[in-house]
Each structure stands twice: as structure tokens, then as C-alpha cells.
Amino acid sequence: MPDAHYDDPRLAAIYDLGNGWSEDSDYYLALAGTRPCRVLDIGCGTGIITDAIAARGHVVVGADPSPGMLAVARAKPQADRIQWVESDAQSLDLGETFDLIIMTGHAFQTLATDRDIEAAAASIKRHLAPDGRAVFESRNPLIDWPSRWAYGVDLEAPQGTVRETREFLGADAGCMTFDLRYRFPGGAELVSRSVLRFAERKTIEAVFRTAGLVPEHVHGDWDGSSFDAASSPEMIFHMRHA
């Protein structure tokens, strides 16, 4: 069962209802600063952060493999000022470099294999300006995520209330599989199955070092605190050229 989040326009249309502006959005927006620069948002999804960065006057490119997500992104207020590219991280090749590259919303964790991570790291290296930074996050694999991921929530969509529930299905080889179920007004139900990679910090850093990028620092949460393996929910990597 493919991840319908990225393929079904009905789910793309309501994605921001459960994934709206939050503290991670503030974190990434602050990285761009106020001085105009060139920003590449890989895995931009519906473009909520991409749009906010463009509103500050930056030159922005948003890349995502999902036509459904990009259709929503192209309706954002600053959409005409943004270059939208349909591509995954691994095969992206724009022929230009950027001062800041970001991967938000745990998009990095959709890179399910070592080969995927290697290809994405090479792509980021290729697009990063000499003095640029690449910033992305991956959840700390030492945290008990399955116990946190069983929930149900009501999303208030234009067509009425949509019930979203998450069910953890299992873990294998560093990847976790879960279903997101959406029950729409009238009883229609859609299921999106996701597989996310929970790579260890040392694995991620080793792959990026091979690609020619090294960590400047690693934050453990959106308050900018340093990463602590025992308690931090996030691993927020700031990478630069070696």
C-alpha cells in the first residue's frame, strides 16, 4: 500500500490541517534570517515553510516528488515568487547552488535505504554554496516512538470534520511502518501507509562525511538545545562543506 499522503490529492488538500505552523517552522524560518539569500527547500510538501521564507524576500526553490503536494503549494500566497520543482532528494539536479538548504517535516526519514541517504547527501553537497549550510532533522531512534504514535484527532476541513487516526504496525531494519486512517464526512475512508527510517546519528554523519559534508552542530529540539541521546526527541543536523 503506497503512502497516499503524497499521491492522493484529497489527502494533500488537508495535509496542513494536521501539519500546520509549529515550533519547527519557526526554527527553519529563523535560519533564513532577514538578509536576502538563496534557499532550497527539499521535500517542501505543501510549501508552508517555503512560502514563509519567500515572504521575507529570499530567492526560494521548493522541490518535492508529489504532484498533489505541489498543487497545494502552488496556491500559497507567495507561490509565484517560488520556483517549484517536481523531484525527490536523490535525483535533484538544478545546476545551481544555495546559501541554505533545508529538509523539514522529517522528510529526511522517507529515505528508507542507505543508498537513498547516500544519493540525497550527494545531492545536498552538489547544491550547497561554498559557505552554505544544510539543515535537516531526523527523530532520535532511541526514543520509544511507537508508544507516542497511537492517537486520534479531528481535523476541521472545509467539507466537514475528518477523523485522523494513527496505528503503529511494526519495525524492521531501522524502519517503522504505520497507517494513517482518514474518515471523511459521509463515511469514506482513506488509508496512507508510511515507512520511515530511524537512522542512528553516527550512520547519518558517516554518510555525509563520505559525501564531503560535516556537522557543524546537532540540536536535540526546536529550542536549540544540544542533542542528548537519552532524552532529545530530535537530531537536527547543521551540515557544511568539509
pLDDT for res 4: 56
Q: Tell me the pLDDT of the chain averaged across its residues.
A: 94
Beta bridge partners of 46: none
The per-type count for the chain, helices as H runs and strands as E runs, is: 6, 11
pLDDT tens per residue across span 80-111: 999 999 999 999 999 999 999 999 999 999 99
All three cell numbers of 83: 520556483
All three cell numbers of 115: 543508498
Alpha carbons 191 and 10: distance in angstroms, whole number: 11
* Residue in the structure block whose three cell numbers are 536549540: 224
CB 116 within 8 A of CB 90: yes
Which domains are delineated in the chain?
Answer: 4-140+199-241 (3.40.50.150), 146-197 (no CATH)
Sheet with 128-139: strands ordered across: 82-86, 59-64, 38-42, 98-103, 128-139, 234-241, 213-219
Alpha carbons 136 and 117: distance in angstroms, whole number: 12
pLDDT for res 232: 98
pLDDT tens per residue across span 9-20: 888 888 888 888
Alpha carbons 150 and 108: distance in angstroms, whole number: 22
Confidence band for 6, pLDDT divided at 50, 70 and 90: low
Average pLDDT over residues 126-144: 98
pLDDT reading at 1 higher than 50: no
pLDDT for res 150: 80
Alpha carbons 100 and 131: distance in angstroms, whole number: 9
Q: What distance, in Å, lies between the first and last C-alpha atoms of the chain?
A: 40
